[in-house]
Amino acid sequence: QAYLSYSNIATLARLAAKPGWEITSTLDNIKIWTHEEGDVLSLKVEMQVKVPSDVAFSLLSDFTRRQQWDKHYLTCEVLQALNEDEKIYYITSPPVTGGKPNDFVVLVSRRQPSKPSEPFVVAVKSVTLASMPPSSEYCRTEVLCAGFQIYSESSSSCTVCYFNQVTSAILAHLAANLTGSSKSIEETAIACMKFLE
């Protein structure tokens, strides 16, 4: 467990630090980047939010509230709370192309910064649980690496960076092309900002 949590946080930090991110979209307070490597596509969405970083952290690290702003989440329940900062969730999401709905079993690890320049971190990756085997009703989907880094800008504002790394198989499922999905990403980001503020 300790190793899984550490690797969850470390994998997100490595993804965030990768060179070669390309900006694909800029709105008022939202920027979207992509990073392609082989058949893995990574997304980064940066949002300027008018709430303190610790508030954003507590709201975004509680995945049971994710349905309040992310329409890709139908249900979300805690399967196991390993400790205050590590929880395993079971998530279902709607079918994108009329197939089966998707489901995920993910470990969510959260960390507070040890010094002011560091971000709050919420890292997400798929895990296998014997008690939650794939079912015929859902298409079990894997999250390679996803999560948030939240940087404090002032006492009342912060920058929230959302990352998601997907394989080409999931990407094909999400959208036939990036232009279509970037609109949905923007809508989700706007909903996220409204939820936080």
Q: What is the DSSP string of 124-146?
A: EEE---TTS---TTSEE---SEE
Domains of the chain: 1-196 (3.30.530.20)
Stated as kind and residue range, the H or E segment containing 159 is strand 157-167
Q: What angle do CA 160, 47, 176 make, to 5 degrees?
A: 110
pTM for this model (two decimals) = 0.90
How confident is the prediction along the chain (197 residues), in pLDDT tens digits per residue? 667 778 999 999 999 999 999 998 888 889 999 998 887 889 999 999 999 999 999 999 999 999 999 988 999 999 999 999 999 999 998 887 778 888 999 999 999 999 988 999 999 999 999 999 999 999 888 888 999 999 999 999 999 999 998 766 565 555 444 445 567 788 889 999 999 99
Place of tokens 């990756």: 125
Q: Which long-range contacts (CB under 8 A, 24 or more apart) does 30-36 make?
A: 30/186, 30/189, 30/190, 30/193, 32/182, 32/185, 32/186, 32/189, 34/178
CA–CA distance, 178 with 34 (Å, rounded to integer): 9
